[in-house]
Structure 1
Amino acid sequence: MSDKKKNTPKLSFNSLWIYVPIAVIFIGLSFLNSGDMGTSKLSDNEFMKILRENDIEKIMVVNKSYAEIYIKDEAMTKEPFKKQVNSPFYRKGSPLYTYNFGDLQNFEKELKEKQDSLNLDFDKRNEARTSIMDSIIGFLPIILLIAIWLYFMRRMSGGGAGAGGGGQIFNIGKSKAKLFDKDTKVKTTFKNVAGLEGAKEEVQEIVDFLKSPEKYTKLGGKIPKGALLVGPPGTGKTLLAKAVAGEAGVPFFSLSGSDFVEMFVGVGASRVRDLFKQAQQKSPSIIFIDEIDAIGRARGKNSMTGGNDERENTLNQLLTEMDGFGTDTNVIVLAATNRADVLDKALMRAGRFDRQIYVDLPDLHERREIFEVHIKPLKLAEDVKLEFLSQQTPGFSGADIANLCNEAALIAARNNKEAIHHQDFLDAVDRIVGGLEKKNKVITPKEKEVIAFHEAGHATVSWMLEHAAPLVKVTIVPRGQSLGAAWYLPEERKIVQSEQMLDEMCATMGGRAAEKLIFDKISTGALSDLEKVTKQARAMVTVYGLNEKIGNVTYYDSTGNDSFVKPYSGDTAKIIDEEISKIIEGQYNRAISILDTHKDKLSILAERLLEKEVIFKDDLVKIFGERPFDKEKNQEILKSSEEE
């Protein structure tokens, strides 16, 4: 009881002494500035009635914003004026009414017309006034700054320093967590989270443990301390935590890792203590810390900060609260990050975060489920094919698919359509992956021809290779920074063999090979192609061990500590460079050979590209015929589906 009284801040007269005279001064000035309290406001109809009866002696326009109405002495005996004059607040010689006229020019024009038409004899004047209150308002910022400064000086001089004194300043040491409980409606549930079946199962088990712990404890099990959600951005880590808030019948505290960070020393640790104190009072409960890498980075990485670093103090307090003495409470900590590699090892160990749930990019089936969630509020046409869209979006996260659906709706609305068609989704994919279409970009006919043969080279080589991704569309319309593009439908592969990587590299080099074969010249248009194949070749040699000369060795370090020191000698580096160049040149010559064999069809494809600017898979089938590899794959798929 004594601790509660000690920690509760009291609002005494001493803490408010500076504000009392300021309030009195402002109230008094407000009364003085109000002028004659006996005046009342006129409506438009009332003003026009008084004006027509010629009862107005003078109209004083004040600061071009409102008018003061003075009534003639002989009209004061009339009933509406008599009642106003007898008011105890009225002073003789002061205006009886005020009138807000709106636009000054229209008001003056209307007065002139009425005066001429009705032969009125009122006097109109303009006056500029500066009230005492206006003068005070000019000094108000300075007065407020002085008052706040005095308040802080008095509070800090009496409250001490560090976390204790800092916590008394506007509750700065209190937790900023947002509480979701039975009184707070959270609409997100596991039904809104498509895919992520493994992650949902792990999180659902935590929710079930808090709801019915006896089911697990009767077998000797202990409540897990925490679960860490790890994965690329946009995969649904925060959405999964929101679903936990919607599903759990227990209090749910949600905040970001940056909410612990403050410029005052000791505030972060104070907020951690307060957060766990609140969670323990409402246990069983869940704490969710988003972007925990803001405070959970590995300690000791920066030698300049030392042991008194505020972020390290906050992390130390978090470690203590999660697995210190006397923490036998039903409080589970959920956290999310896409930078698990930078987290402190003490934070990652069992007993703090017992479970690490990896939330990966969705596969083909999961992308289909995510599309079904995001198309519910959309008005779709009958030609929308979700299966094809899920195939067309490899590498897309859940956030990317949500953005794609929204972009398709915007494109359909821009074209004044009544519903969203399949082509709108394809245009949205092109917009997101390739960038904004630039049809008005100035390109010379010679450059356009080079671009057409370059893209036709990609399409031709990929069509003739077994392991290259099948083509969907080729375009020479500029998008973003690219002057043309070839769109493929890559397979969902768990592992990649060397033949598949070589075929993809050969198809990538098909653009430059076509330029060399047709024009006997090469251009700078293959920069992105060269960058891609160089990375692939280097990965084959140094990462995956797919090169015979280097052998079954990898120089890849998953910890990321090989940035400055190469784990091989200079002689090995020379061999690596030679093997990378050998692989790339081999695929380049292979692409030239394929294009030379089908040179006539390459020219037909390029001419059709120059004519249409965009061609699809059907055009390639007409020129080259059906791919034999596709026939074999389709037969295998059909056979496996019949067996199932």
Structure 2
Amino acid sequence: MDSQEQKQTQTPARKPQSTFWWIYIVMIFFFIWMWFFQSSSSLPQISWNHFEKELLAQNKVDRLDVVNNEWVEVYLKTEEKKAADQETQSILEREQARGPSYFFNIGAVEVFYDQLKRTGEEYPEANEIVVTYSRRQNWGSTILPWLLPIGLLILFWVYMLRGISARMQGADSSFFKFGQSKARILEQGTETRVTFKDVAGLEEAKEEIYELVKFLKDPEKFERLGAKIPKGILLLGPPGTGKTLLAKAVAGEAGVPFFSLSGSEFIEMFVGVGAARVRDLFSKAKLRAPSIIFIDEIDTIGRARGSSTIFQSNDERESTLNQLLAELDGFDTNTRVIILAATNRGDILDPALLRPGRFDRHIQLELPNLTERKAIFKVHMKPLKLGPDVNEELLAAQTPGFSGADIANICNEAALIAAQREKEAIHRQDFMDAIDRVIGGLEKRSKIITPAEKKRIAYHEAGHVTASWYLEHAQPVLKVSIIPRGRSLGAAWYLPEEHQIITKSEFLDAICSALGGRASEEIVFEEVSSNAIDDLEKVTKQAYTMVVNYGLSDELRNISFYDSTGKREGALQKPYSEKTAEKIDIEVQAIIDKAYEKTKMILNSHRHQLDALAASLMEKEILYKDEIKAILGEKPQMQTKE
């Protein structure tokens, strides 16, 4: 018998405690309340006419008692009382054999006295009736409104104290779990099945982070040389690049307890809960050392203090961050607890969190290149049943700028499309359609488009393709379509080159290519339309990026207002003056105007090819690269880029 079984046998089973005992007490208070508020309403109520005609006229009344100047209780004579008791089936009235038999309300004592006096003139026997006046105190209505809230408050505090006692004894009390960490714990033997073999395209990151696994498996190898493993490793990168997947692979490879949670799980509506959860998380990790803590989206609590606090202040978040900093800095070198964190907004993290001794290493994950995308496609294609025409190299070449999550989505969409088409395997066309769906959305062939609109859309897309075909630095086109897809009425697919530096000429040619649709409409129809809203948005952003961030303008040369620290995020004041802002607007407009005129010149020079391409689009709706090449001819040999 192992130690865990011994503990289970030694620990006596707790008797189940009712969690609704306080409900019964509240019900008792309610019934007491109802009993105390029972007043003379338990007697039959009669009217004055009934009292006068049936009781006074027949000489049945023994005496009257005016209670609190509000109602009158009628006492019958002995023989009449017995008769009334026999007619009344109420148990309460039978128990009140010597009490009143009826009651009626009065508006005022003076009115009752005048009415009784007038009745005495008609019925002389009424003058012999004894009238008494009494006052009664309803202790239920006086005391119970005070006793009931006090009783409920006492019950609440008893429940609180019982919860504290249960927590001190290690019992499970949900009311006091606010300060406990919500981390999911993956133990050895039950850990995730994801390993480094399932992570493709992150070779450098895997090699660097694998040191954690080797340290946890054989710590003496490092410690005998005096080496210290980094306390914290921060994974930085755009969304979908595999940060969380890499952490899961570490959990699968390390074979040690793995604590996983999101940064938002530290924050609660109660003050101090975030800091308490941080303390609880690290205390559990130390008890299970060697272990790994993974905090996803750490920017939720790790945002730089003092930034973006113009309209809001979150002291709870800052206290949580302070506690996290204290726990990271308070680690001993032999605790063997390692922190992994992931975020796609590393520029807004607090500098104290990034300093050596806390997060020592920063691993930057970028969007995968051609070779990495090929490896990612291979990983996600393993469980798929593929046709012979599927080539991962071609798919990788046609998905530049796609993240690992995007590629996984493409593979899944291709499988869904093939299943809908009732195919036995997934073919190349299914993957191509999946890429189109991910980029542009579902086809909407049912959308009603007039012939005039179709012609305008065809010339718009033909203008994009024609302009880019004769621009030196424009991206090569793959296909063009005028079938509505998603929010777009038409689209052109390009194959951008993968490089790290963008020149001014490349920026300008990209703007010219984006303006090709509007320029074509103006040349052909002598009027522009609303069809270029996406193009204009992209052009405006690119032009402002050239001027504000990269300093690629003639007027504002070698000046950049880009903020890599993120401290000016959300600030009301711009980092430049109003005069400079005016210059920026003028420069942006000049860049766009220059590019627009250049685009119109290209389209006017190749008007014949533009018309032929638009006509072919109206006929076929989709044109591929070979068909485009047959219409526009060979792409002119421009000056070779170094």
TM-score, normalising length from structure 1? 0.72
Deviations 1:246-270 (A, max 9, x none): 1103222222223323334443333
Aligned to 1:593: 601
- Partner SS for 1:288: strand
CA deviation after TM superposition for structure 1 residue 585, in Å: 1.3
| Mapped pair 1:457 → 2:441 | no
Counterpart amino acid of 1:451?
I
Partner of 1:330: 336
Mean CA deviation greater in 228-237 or 487-496: 228-237
Any idea what the Cα deviations from partners look like across 1:318-339, whole Å, max 9, x if unmatched?
2222112757411111111223
- What corresponds to 1:38 in structure 2? none
Alignment partner of 1:352 is 2:358: yes
Match of residue 30 from structure 1:
none
Residue 437 of structure 1 pairs with residue 443 of structure 2: yes
1:569 maps to which residue? Answer: 577
- What secondary structure does 1:439 align onto? coil
| Structure 2 letter corresponding to 1:216 | F
Which residue of structure 1 lines up, in the alignment, with residue 201 of structure 2?
A: 195
Paired residue type of 1:586: K
SS of 2:623's partner is strand
Counterpart of 2:302 (choices 286, 296, 302) is 296
Q: Secondary structure at the match of 1:356?
A: strand
Unmatched tracts of structure 1, length 5 or more: 1-8, 23-147, 637-644
In 1, Cα distance between the equivalents of 2:239 and 2:454?
38
Query: What secondary structure does 1:496 align onto?
Result: coil
Letter of the 1:345 counterpart: P
Classify the secondary structure of the residue corresponding to 1:555: coil
Structure 1 partner of 2:622: 614
Following superposition, the deviation at residue 578 of structure 1 comes to: 2.0
Q: Partners of 1:149 and 1:283 in 2: how far apart? A: 44
> Greater CA radius of gyration, 1 or 2?
2
Does residue 223 in structure 1 map to residue 211 in structure 2?
no
Match of 1:550 in 2: 556
- Residues 350-392 of structure 1: CA distance to partner in whole angstroms, max 9, x if unpaired? 1111111112221221111111110111111111122221122
* Compared CA separation, residues 528 and 281, structure 1 to 2 (3 A): same
Instruction: Write the deviation string for residues 428-460 of structure 1: whole angstroms up to 9, x where unpaired.
Output: 111111111111111111111111111111111
Pick aligned residue for 2:160 from 139, 156, 163: 156
2:440 partner amino acid: G
Corresponding letter in the other structure for 2:438: I
8 Å contact kept, 2:257–2:288? yes
Partner of 1:428: 434
- 1:534 equivalent in alignment to 2:547: no
Structure 1 residue matching 2:269: 3-state secondary structure: coil
Q: Given residue 200 of structure 2, which amino acid in structure 1 is its aligned partner? A: A
Residue 284 (structure 1) aligned with residue 285 (structure 2): no
Secondary structure at the counterpart of residue 294 of structure 2 = strand
In the alignment, the residues of structure 1 paired with residue 320 and residue 281 of structure 2 have an alpha-carbon distance, to the nearest angstrom, of 12
Q: Indicate whether 1:604 and 2:612 are aligned.
A: yes
- Of 167, 180, 187 in structure 1, the residue corresponding to residue 186 of structure 2 is 180
Percent of aligned positions that are identical:
58
Q: Check whether the contact 1:321–1:327 (CA below 8 A) recurs between aligned residues.
A: no
Does the 8 A contact of 1:159 with 1:165 survive in 2? no
Counterpart residue number, 1:247: 253
SS at match of 2:233: strand
Distance 1:304 1:511, change over 3 A: closer
The one-letter code matched in structure 1 to 2:481 is T
- Identify which of 509, 520, 523 aligns with 1:517: 523
> C-alpha distance in 1, partners of 2:265/2:562?
36
Question: Which amino acid letter does the alignment assign opposite residue 577 of structure 1?
Answer: D
- How far the C-alpha of 1:150 sits from its partner, in A, is 9.1
What is the alpha-carbon distance in structure 1 between the residues aligned to residue 245 and residue 15 of structure 2? 47
Contact 1:166 1:267 in 2 (8 A): no
Instruction: Tell me the distance in 2 between the aligned counterparts of 1:273 and 1:220.
Output: 29
Q: Output the amino acid matched with 1:355.
A: R
> Residue in 1 aligned with 2:118?
none
Q: Residues 425 and 326 (structure 1 numbering): CA distance in 2 closer, same or farther, change over 3 Å?
A: closer
Q: Give yes or no for contact 2:271–2:316 (8 Å, CA) kept in 1.
A: yes
Q: What TM-score comes out, normalization by structure 2 length?
A: 0.72
What is the 5 A alignment of 1:23-422? 153-157=157-161, 169-170=173-174, 172=177, 173-301=179-307, 302=309, 309-324=315-330, 328-422=334-428
Q: Give, in whole Å, the separation in 2 of the partners of 1:471 and 1:14.
A: 71
- The answer to whether the 8 A contact 2:387-2:427 is kept is yes
Shift of residue 19, structure 1, vs aligned partner? 5.2
Q: Which runs of 5+ in 2 are unaligned?
A: 1-10, 25-151
Give the conservation status (yes or no) of the 8 Å contact 1:471–1:617. Answer: yes
Q: Secondary structure in 2 aligned to 1:438?
A: coil
Aligned mates of 2:170, 2:220 — CA distance in 1: 42
C-alpha root-mean-square deviation of aligned residues, in Å?
3.3
